[in-house]
Structure 1
Amino acid sequence: MRWDRFFEDIEDQLASEWEAERAALDTEAERLRLSRVTLHDRLAALIAADGDPTAVGIEVHGGSTLTAPVVGLGTDWLLASPWGSRSGAALVPFSAIAGISLPHADMLRSARPDAAAASPLARRATFGFVVRDLVRRRVGVRVQGLDSRVLSGTIDRAGVDHLDLALHEPGAVRRAGDVQGYRLVPFTAIGWIAADAGLARPA
């Protein structure tokens, strides 16, 4: 037996075992890291990307899909711009999202979010907070339900889990004589809200 060959074989075997062990540890560390990543983190990574934002398919419960870039983010909602401008932005509660389709490269990139990229607003502003801001602004809105029906009007009040909508023609100013009815709408029934005057993009 050639001892130099024997030691070479042992060194190769040890190196191979060490590589396998390191790969296993790396895989386990990656699984652990991924177990802590939230949907919010992944959406924030899409917004933080340099260049033009990529359009994604936001599938809403009930069957409708908004194809648009995500341009803003709050605690439990996202702001998408399917009509190409902030004035055409849609506020989508996370609870309404059935799935999000996006290119594979963006999916992989979003799985490695940068925690420092998320704005403080993105962690504090809730869906209810933004709806109450729409009440304050007195702007006309279109509210699409999860059943794909669209209601037009002005939000008069917003509670913890619902809003009061005065129904009137799209684009019209809310006047008592033009109101066609009133509707209580639970937040859980909302697919998205679009404001006639636009929704401000968070900083």
Structure 2
Amino acid sequence: MRWDRFFEDIEDQLASEWEAERAALETEAERLRLARITLHERLAALVATGDADPVAAGLELRGGATLSAPVAGLGADWLLASPWGSRSGAALVPLSAIAGVTLPHAALLRSARPETAASGSAVSRRATFGFAVRDLVRRRSGVTVHEVDGRSVTGTIDRAGADHLDLAVHERGAIRRAAEVTGYRIVPFAAVAWIGIDGHAESLRV
């Protein structure tokens, strides 16, 4: 009887050790998985889809501005948000301008599992910030360029280079005509915190 109890104790101990080893391996695998996740992948999991309630992400930007908005789209190095609703405007945000993102706990956990990310266009996910800005040039969209130093300038983007844009400065809502333009400004992409796009959020397509 004593030997039976002896072997039972050994089996219990081995089972406990195996369980501890399995848990340790799972924990290490999870650490390795998390170590490979990028910010881009986590943001992709937040992209609003038609079959789910959008999650309002708190985008804390360089310079101190904060946008609370669902993430409507994602490019290679930028995201599109709609702080004022899909029918009144949108915000084009370079990822380099993001200082932090605040989320509800459930959304935070979901963003840490990229396999739950919404399936977006592979083409749009490769489109750069410069490409998105050039789309605004093509559409002649009225914009407000918010810079990382807190300055905001309204107008129409005339052209976009490799790392900067040319802004024709005029009052918000005005049509870009020579008589309405009060000046011209070159803005490096590195100075942009976000670009507010007048009109429909759907105006930006890549």
Q: Which TM class, normalised by the smaller chain length?
A: over 0.9
Q: Deviations over 1:64-107 (max 9, x none)?
A: 10011111111101111110115411000001100000011110
The answer to whether the 8 A contact 2:86-2:201 is kept is no
> Which contiguous aligned blocks of 4+ residues in structure 1 show a shift greater than 4 angstroms?
none
Deviations 1:116-169 (A, max 9, x none): 724313421111001001111112111111122210011011011100001001
Q: Is the 8 A contact 1:48 1:118 kept in 2?
A: no
Name 1:171's counterpart in structure 2.
173
Q: Secondary structure at the match of 1:30?
A: helix
Q: Does structure 2 conserve the Cα–Cα contact (< 8 Å) formed by 1:48 and 1:117?
A: no
Distance in 1, matches of 2:52 and 2:205, equals 18
Unpaired segments ≥5 residues, structure 1? none
Is 1:19 matched with 2:19? Answer: yes
Q: Deviations over 1:151-188 (max 9, x none)?
A: 00110110111000010010111111211011000111
CA RMSD of aligned residues (A): 1.7
User: Amino acid of the residue matched to residue 17 of structure 2?
Assistant: E
Report the secondary structure of 2:199's partner residue.
Answer: coil
In structure 2, distance between residues paired with 1:86 and 1:121: 25
Task: For residue 35 of structure 1, report the CA deviation from its aligned partner.
Answer: 1.3
Q: Does the 8 Å CA contact 2:145/2:195 hold for their aligned counterparts?
A: yes
Shift of 1:197: 3.1
Return the alpha-carbon distance in structure 1 between the equivalents of residues 55 and 125 of structure 2: 22
Structure 1 residues 147 and 68: alpha-carbon distance in aligned structure 2, compared to 1, 3 A threshold: same
Give the TM-score normalised by structure 1.
0.94
Structure 2 SS opposite 1:27: helix
Contact 1:155-1:163 within 8 A present in 2 as well: yes
- 2:46 corresponds to: 46
**1:87-102 counterparts in 2 under 5 A?**
87-102=88-103
1:44/1:122 CA distance change after superposition, 3 Å: farther
| Contact in 2 for aligned 1:161/1:187 (Cα 8 Å) | yes
Match of 1:92, as an amino acid? V
For 2:79, give the aligned amino acid: L
Provide TM-score, normalisation by structure 2: 0.92
Unaligned runs of at least 5 residues, structure 2: none
